[in-house]
Chains A and B, each alone.
Chain A
Amino acid sequence: QQPVQSPQAVILREGEDAVINCSSSKALYSVHWYRQKHGEAPVFLMILLKGGEQKGHEKISASFNEKKQQSSLYLTASQLSYSGTYFCGTESSGTASKLTFGTGTRLQVTL
């Protein structure tokens, strides 16, 4: 079953913060986050593993609540280059045999 992302779309001014949420109905082993720009392939941002810690760097980070099967992606002080569609991907088995992607969140950063 496909994880659900919220919001579906968000428009930010440069420098503002955003949070994208991903929720699954299944127990998860890992959550992935990807960004896809128009006409390009998705690019891996980070992975959060069951039992792992919050990950990321200063401006883009993520958390994983195993009990709620939820993950959030935090974008701080957004830049124009952050524009794109963000997908979470969830994996239940730990074998990397099936990564199911969420519905996507379209992010637009403006001046």
Chain B
Amino acid sequence: KAGVTQTPRYLIKTRGQQVTLSCSPISGHRSVSWYQQTPGQGLQFLFEYFSETQRNKGNFPGRFSGRQFSNSRSEMNVSTLELGDSALYLCASSLVGGYGYTFGSGTRLTVV
């Protein structure tokens, strides 16, 4: 079956711009989580959505937001980009409670 699909794979943006990243989970997986990965901070939790509701949010500023659609696809948005937002953004989907996560290949965001 198809895995988790993230688009785009690479993005280069300028400081101050905004960006939208997309994630299509594995069919049947209703939980979608987003992570930011950087060499210094590792995997940092951004937020998690289930049935179009954000159930949990990490310690990121309000410039980071997300949403989930009725088909479980999810998007995350970063507004007013800063240089420090350069990172690999990973999306993961799972069944609820007691199952592993399947990660997408990620979107590599570079802010210049």
Contacts and interface: CB of A to CB of B under 8 A. Distances in A.
A89 B104 CA distance: 17
A95 B55 contact: yes
Interface residues of B, number: 26
A95 B96 contact: yes
Interface in B40-61: 42-43, 45, 48, 50, 55-56, 58
A97 B96 CA distance: 8
B62 interface: no
SS class, residues of chain B in contact with chain A = strand
Contacts, number: 66
A43 interface: yes
A97 B105 contact: no
Interface of A: 2, 30, 32, 34, 40-44, 46-47, 49, 87, 89, 94-104
Interface of B: 31, 33, 35, 42-43, 45, 48, 50, 55-56, 58, 90, 92, 94-106
Nearest to B96: A96
7 A-B pairs with the lowest CB-CB distances in the bound complex, closest first: A44-B100, A41-B103, A101-B43, A97-B55, A98-B56, A97-B56, A96-B97
B50 A41 contact: no
Contacts of A34: 101, 103
A108 B107 CA distance: 26
A41 B97 CA distance: 21
Contacts of B31: 96-97
A101 B106 CA distance: 17
Given A98-B56, A99-B33, A46 B43 contact: no
